[in-house]
Amino acid sequence: MTTKIAFIGAGSVVFTQGLLADIFAFPELKNAHIALHDIDAERLRTAEAAARHIASVRGAEPQVTAHAERRPALEDADFVINIVQIGMGEATRTDFDIPARYGIRQTIGDTLGVGGIFRALRTFPHLRELGEDIKEMCPRAWLLNYTNPMAMNIQYLTQATGLTRVVGLCHSVYWTMRDLADLVGVPFEEITYRAAGVNHQAWVLQFERDGVDLYPKLDARIAEDEQLRRRVRVDMYRRLGFYPTETSEHSSEYVPWYLHHDSEIERLRLPVGAYLGIVEENVADYERTRAALAAGQPLEVEGTMEYAPQIIHSIVTGTPRTVYGNVPNNGLIDNLPAHGVVEVPCLVDDAGVQPTRAGALPPQLAALNRTYLSANDLVVRAALEDSPIRIRQAAMTDPATAAALPVERIWALCDEMAKAHADRLQPALRARLGS
């Protein structure tokens, strides 16, 4: 039986390429049906050409179909990979430019803070429609989400649509552990690790080789390297006792301690507005890919070690694996809200994705995660309740925003952001409330 994998937002061509390179590397998936969907016709054509090229290089013979409409792509799919970015670069620039005028500094702006809040709110209508289509067109499919803000999106999807075969995927834990292994001079294959928390703010709870704690080796490396100490995640580790699983740029946005202070930006070398450069690089990468395909030039075909292809292979073949997934808590982490979305190790085989219980986090870590999840919950409630006041309350709760602005300015900022993104928000959320 042929496995059908639908890519929603396939016009994110470079990311789609990496996932396909991984998928076609598995012999059992070389004949899969790859259904590509995007609303941008040019990007969809490019994605289709890239898929066929990668299949040829990998020696695969998939069925590749391209769909301007979502429902035909979803029909009878076994897996749905969501990689959309609503509003693309234009909306992202708005997420940075307007808050900057109010004195809000952001580095990435896709997970929490003002940028994360409005990225979520303009993504939620898409997620509701996607969820309803999945229930009708492929109710047994697994939805594998890569779109940020991860935790908000998964909470909204599960609460708004009732879907249960949903998992959010992020590579931050994997690459953090690769980096830590390199820092302490131990081969990655020889370390044992366990992490848990929330997306982009999970924590390395176990870091060992042969049962021996590697944290002392990390402490020694940090003590001897001043440049390491000039990173946010290292600063957080030294004060909290556990290493965070996301980059310093990301980590700085979820706490009130860094971005509001010029001295901390300098000390910790924080690149304010960094994501705008990444957006430009992504566009340039797409243009190079499109031009190469049009000219018949070879493309690099490299695997990404992303979780989605591994999950698909494990479910199709029964091969057991452990990945990190973002799922509703429901008791997985004792001292975080049950309805919040947490990131924990998940077992995967032909029974599907099975989250594992992490128990209680150390209290200082849970305290930070609870604030993060509280802001998330208010954003999700804003959409579920059609309540514009919840947007303002979410921004007031957000640590970095609260550190930078008084409440009247927070409300004024939300008014301006709602106006700027109005066409992409559900109607009730476009209201201006004043300060």
| 235-281 per-position pLDDT tens digit | 999 999 999 999 999 999 999 999 999 999 999 999 998 888 888 88
User: Within a domain: residue 149?
Assistant: yes
Helix intervals (H) in 2-103: 13-25, 41-58, 70-74, 88-101
User: Within a domain: residue 100?
Assistant: yes
CA distance 335 to 370: 8
Q: 135: which residues sit within 8 A by CB, 6+ positions away? A: 161, 162, 163
Confidence of residue 362 (pLDDT cuts 50, 70, 90): very high
User: Within a domain: residue 190?
Assistant: no
121-125, 189-193, 281-285: which has the minimum mean pLDDT? 281-285
pLDDT of residue 66: 96
Residue 181 sits at the vertex; the CA angle it makes with 107 and 195, to the nearest 5 degrees, is: 65
User: Within a domain: residue 161?
Assistant: yes
Q: What is the mean pLDDT of residues 150-169?
A: 97
Q: What is the mean pLDDT of residues 3-8?
A: 98
Question: What is the average pLDDT score of the chain?
Answer: 94
User: Within a domain: residue 258?
Assistant: no
In the 8-state DSSP scheme, what is residue 361?
A: P
Helix (H, G, I), strand (E, B) or coil at 214: coil
CA distance 427 to 3: 38
Domain of residue 24 covers: 4-169+297-314
User: Within a domain: residue 221?
Assistant: no
Whether 155 contacts 380, CB under 8 Å? yes
Q: Please give the tally of structural domains in the chain.
A: 1
CA distance 61 to 340: 41
pLDDT of residue 294: 80
Whether 355 contacts 237, CB under 8 Å? no
Q: What is the mean pLDDT of residues 67-79?
A: 97
**Residue 390: pLDDT above 70?**
yes
The yes-or-no answer on residue 171 being catalytic is yes
Confidence of residue 87 (pLDDT cuts 50, 70, 90): confident
User: Within a domain: residue 309?
Assistant: yes
Confidence of residue 435 (pLDDT cuts 50, 70, 90): low
pLDDT of residue 434: 73
Digit-coded pLDDT (tens) for 131-157: 999 999 999 999 999 999 999 999 999
Digit-coded pLDDT (tens) for 321-354: 999 999 999 999 999 999 999 999 999 999 999 9
Structure token digits, residue 326 = 């973002």
Supply the DSSP string of 110-134, one letter for each residue. Answer: SSSHHHHHHHHHHHHHHHHHHHHHH
User: Within a domain: residue 93?
Assistant: yes
Helix (H, G, I), strand (E, B) or coil at 22: helix
**Residue 37: pLDDT above 70?**
yes
Q: Which residue of the set 33, 171, 261, 339 is catalytic? A: 171
Q: In the chain, what percentage of residues exceed pLDDT 70?
A: 100
Whichever domain contains 83, its CATH number is 3.40.50.720
CA distance 322 to 326: 13
Cα first-last separation, the chain: 59
Whether 25 contacts 60, CB under 8 Å? no
Whether 160 contacts 384, CB under 8 Å? yes
pLDDT of residue 242: 98
